[in-house]
Structure 1
Amino acid sequence: MAWKSRTRSLQVFDTELSADTVEWCPVSNSHRFLACGTYQLQKGVSKGEEDGAPSRTGRLYLFEYQREALGPPLTELQRIDTPAILDLKWCHVPVSEKVVLGLAAATGELQLYVLAACQEGSSNLQTLCYAELGADQLALSLDWSTGRMDSSDVRVVCSDSAGCVSVLSLAEGALVTLSQWKAHDFEAWISAFSYWDTQLVYSGGDDCKLKGWDLRIGPSKPTFISKRHSMGVCSIHSNPHREYILATGSYDEKVLLWDGRNMREPFSESLLGGGVWRLKWHPTQQHLLLAACMHNDFHILHCQQAVESNEGACPVVASYILHNSLAYGADWSRLSLEEPAPLSPPTAEPTECLTDSGGHLRIQYESPTASFDTSLEDDCGQYIPEGIAPPSTTSHAGDTVTPDDDASSLSFLLASCSFYDHMLHLWRWDWAPVEAHVNAIACN
């Protein structure tokens, strides 16, 4: 049975500063919260001339998703001015019954916030603690050891612009550095835990090297060094569903899949046509991998055949192409979208028009907070109901690849952000048998 894949924009938000990282909260009962971080380089000014030291400023946004909202589904709850943010991630489990968010800052700090209830019935982020990774360097990435929802040993790994990797523990509301070492010759763009054995850490750097580290024997020597990527390694994510499976991405535009038991060669290589800045495995679907590809938009890969046969490229089953700048941050939501999306009314004359899959996307300015309403039209200007996909001008493997479970259809909520146009997008991906689309058309 052929399956039809479709992505749809739900909301666009102007973050004002360049947006580079976004993540949905993975903690149960808090899945509706979304955090977004920004990074802005300000030229220095000295004595009336632009020759001073540049400064890096940022802003942390907290949003709440409400499906039943009359207006845009994402509501901004809070914005906090911070140093420039390079990466942010929620701890996957509560720490001392608190939901914790970590961010890697341009000041070389790992900063932690807790999600707290307000008297008004809303929620906000409050500072918990911070740790300095080193002077005159930028914190570039972080990852929690809790990717398999294990709360027995909460630690965080960070990488920085000096090529160092640091492992810290969080206990009693304080961060304690357990180890720090020089891992790469240039920027260590990314660091990550093996979620199946959290004594194993991976790192990738601008020296084009992917390295492994075993914390039990100390970081004096890596367990392996791979030069399989031909450019800087900037993304690593351990699969929380399949032991030993690791995904890496690089400026060389490739996604490589590895078996942690044999890191000499990857078993899968997929060329995506843009530097792969971030990779995110789906939180429940073990074979779906989301990729933010800098100069080539956002793509969803289906990795089942590659994983099961230990060879071959992973086909792209969906793409989101409505960003107009560097595709940096992206994440899956754990919220359920099983109900059909409501039909959107026709919009007034557009202020901006973009082409997507044979239809025109109208973006109409709606509020001072920079939320937008979107709808699809055909080439004649007629409104296309949400249940009917416009003719596709691109071919995806989603038409022939099918999910690895018995689901009748799949619908997912995602968020992504892009850099120079400082935009956060909320969108959904629907994957259903062709018959379901035919029935939807007949019902309308």
Structure 2
Amino acid sequence: MGSSRTRNLQVFDTELSADTVEWCPLPHYAHIVACGTYQLQKDDEKNPSRIGRLYLFQFDQQQSFTPPLTEIQRIDTPAILDLKWCHTEIYDRPLLGMATACGEIQLHGLRDTQDGRCALECVLSTELGPNRLALSLDWSTGRGDSSDPRVVTSDSTGSLTVLSLAEDNLSAVSQWKAHDFEAWISAFSYWDTQLVYSGGDDCKLKGWDLRMGPSSPTFTSKRHSMGVCSIHSNPHREHILATGSYDENVLLWDGRNMRQPLSETAVGGGVWRLKWHPVHEHLLLAACMHNDFHILHCQQAADGNEGPCPILASYILHNSLAYGADWSRLPLSGPPPSSPPTETTPASLTEPKGHLRIQYESPTASFDTSLEDECGRYIPDHTAAVSAPAPVPGVGDNSASLSCLLASCSFYDHMLHVWRWDWSPETETQSAETGPTPSS
């Protein structure tokens, strides 16, 4: 039988509410991870302030008697809504993009220090406009092309802005109104970076062609029934797009036909962030707000076979809203630690019991909807356990097993977790009711 096991390696208290975490994608700096925080200060009820802090850590798995994660820098900032590393070096160093609650996009350069560590320093910034929060950003460099690096960002006015780094300057190329309410998410197609996707609190998923101008979208989908808050283009497989929503579903799309998704997977919580694995094209990480973090296997759906994506593992050790999550490119050496495995079966995806009232909140606290019907029943109530086709195929050529390093963060308990996932693909048919079981 196959085995799937998640194990916590370390927990870090970020003090302020944590909502975004990103491993550096560049090989030489793969041990570096950044975490952003967001805190609403209600000292002044009429004009509450939003503060944040940017943390920088390094991970060293060779330290036998000390925790592997070490804080190497903290910077007080405006509240941070999103962080994304550029996938390639710019100006001969890694760049970290930051979307802030003061409507500013900041780029921080990573430099080596004399003590052999690293540090971030702000090198470029630009304001998107007055009275808005920058909610998300994405780089055009997802497939390693650094010839024309651009950033797309979305904000609380429903607008999108495309920024260029030409001539050592961060400047707006275009800005337009894209959604009626908050534009929670924006993302490039990594295969054609003239294409941009966006999702908003108006429940709409839209596509935009920058060559045609922003006067009208190339498509508008209302397939999600609530606000669209996560989008990620697959960097390994052309046309494949993943989206998530407050409606608790992950949809997989073929970008050539946005009328109907390839698959729909109920994950039991609002899907705040989605991340494709940096190497294995079929693995998708989902941060599911009220229902933890899940790893989906998307090969059969991407190949055109109907049905939800099986959930290979769930990380359930956070005690608050699951917001930030990312894969590390750092290879793990040695066997897993001997700590007991956490629950990895899809059992946590069964219909909620005892949840009479749940408030869905975004980090901006501007989305606050009660989810219960007239009888007091929790809605949406379509989160029954996902039936997983079995056996699940392997993740790549000659891949008998896989070990991954991940980081995740949760909001109100202000916690950053670093954990590992070890998986051996199933070798024989396994019932959907049984699900993947931890190895002994």
Tell me whether 1:192 sits opposite 2:191 in the alignment: no
Q: Secondary structure at the match of 2:302?
A: helix
* Residue among 141, 144, 148 paired with 1:149: 144
Q: Which amino acid aligns with 1:19?
A: A
Offset of residue 152 of structure 1: 1.2
**2:410 paired residue number:** 418
| CA distance in 2 between partners of 1:398 and 1:73 (Å) | 36
Could you tell which deviates more after superposition, 308-317 or 142-151? 308-317
Q: Secondary structure at the match of 1:53?
A: coil
Offset of residue 397 of structure 1: 4.6
| CA distance in 2 between partners of 1:205 and 1:16 (Å) | 29
* Residue among 31, 51, 76 paired with 1:57: 51
Offset of residue 398 of structure 1: 9.4
| CA distance in 2 between partners of 1:7 and 1:244 (Å) | 30
Tell me whether 1:259 sits opposite 2:254 in the alignment: yes
The Cα offsets for residues 359-401 of structure 1, whole Å up to 9 and x where unpaired, read as: xxxxxxxxxxxxxxxxxxxxxxxxxxxxxxxxxxx99959832
Q: Secondary structure at the match of 1:309?
A: coil
The structure where strand makes up a greater share of residues is 1
| CA distance in 1 between partners of 2:16 and 2:411 (Å) | 8
List structure 1 runs of 4+ shifted beyond 3 angstroms. Answer: 354-358, 394-400
Change (3 A) 1:418 1:398: farther
**1:43 paired residue number:** 42
Q: How does 1:284-299 map to 2 (within 5 A)?
A: 284-299=279-294
Offset of residue 303 of structure 1: 0.5
Q: Is the 8 A contact 1:161 1:189 kept in 2?
A: yes
Unaligned runs of 5+ in 1: 46-50, 347-353, 359-393
Q: How does 1:330-345 map to 2 (within 5 A)?
A: 330-343=325-338
**1:13 paired residue number:** 12
Offset of residue 339 of structure 1: 2.5
The Cα offsets for residues 281-338 of structure 1, whole Å up to 9 and x where unpaired, read as: 0000000000000000000000011111242210101000000000000000001114
Q: Secondary structure at the match of 2:170?
A: strand
Q: Which amino acid aligns with 2:393?
A: T
**1:28 paired residue number:** 27
Q: Is the 8 A contact 2:392 2:426 kept in 1?
A: no
Could you tell which deviates more after superposition, 411-420 or 115-124? 115-124
Which protein shows a greater Rg? Answer: 1
Q: Secondary structure at the match of 1:29?
A: helix
**2:117 paired residue number:** 122
Offset of residue 129 of structure 1: 1.1
| CA distance in 2 between partners of 1:356 and 1:95 (Å) | 41
| CA distance in 2 between partners of 1:93 and 1:133 (Å) | 24
Q: Secondary structure at the match of 1:404?
A: coil
Q: Which amino acid aligns with 1:8?
A: R
Q: Is the 8 A contact 1:3 1:402 kept in 2?
A: no
Change (3 A) 1:142 1:120: same
Q: Is the 8 A contact 1:415 1:424 kept in 2?
A: yes
Q: Is the 8 A contact 1:327 1:419 kept in 2?
A: yes
**1:85 paired residue number:** 80
Q: Which amino acid aligns with 2:402?
A: L
Residues matched between the structures, number: 390
**2:353 paired residue number:** none
Tell me whether 1:202 sits opposite 2:201 in the alignment: no
TM-score (norm. length: structure 2):
0.85
| CA distance in 1 between partners of 2:109 and 2:213 (Å) | 31
Q: How does 1:400-411 map to 2 (within 5 A)?
A: 400-405=391-396, 406-411=398-403
Q: Which amino acid aligns with 1:409?
A: S
* Residue among 102, 111, 121 paired with 2:106: 111
**1:312 paired residue number:** 307
* Residue among 400, 419, 425 paired with 1:427: 419
Q: Is the 8 A contact 2:308 2:388 kept in 1?
A: no
Q: Is the 8 A contact 1:316 1:398 kept in 2?
A: no
| CA distance in 2 between partners of 1:117 and 1:9 (Å) | 29
The Cα offsets for residues 54-99 of structure 1, whole Å up to 9 and x where unpaired, read as: 0000000000000111311010000000000000000000002111
Change (3 A) 1:180 1:432: same
Q: Is the 8 A contact 1:244 1:259 kept in 2?
A: yes
Q: Is the 8 A contact 2:250 2:265 kept in 1?
A: yes
Q: Is the 8 A contact 2:394 2:425 kept in 1?
A: no
Q: Which amino acid aligns with 1:413?
A: L
**2:355 paired residue number:** none
| CA distance in 2 between partners of 1:169 and 1:154 (Å) | 7
Change (3 A) 1:149 1:252: same
Q: Secondary structure at the match of 1:305?
A: helix
Offset of residue 27 of structure 1: 1.2
Unaligned runs of 5+ in 2: 346-384, 428-435
Q: Is the 8 A contact 1:5 1:399 kept in 2?
A: no
Change (3 A) 1:214 1:355: closer
Q: Is the 8 A contact 1:4 1:398 kept in 2?
A: no
| CA distance in 2 between partners of 1:167 and 1:249 (Å) | 22
Percent of pairs with identical residues: 69
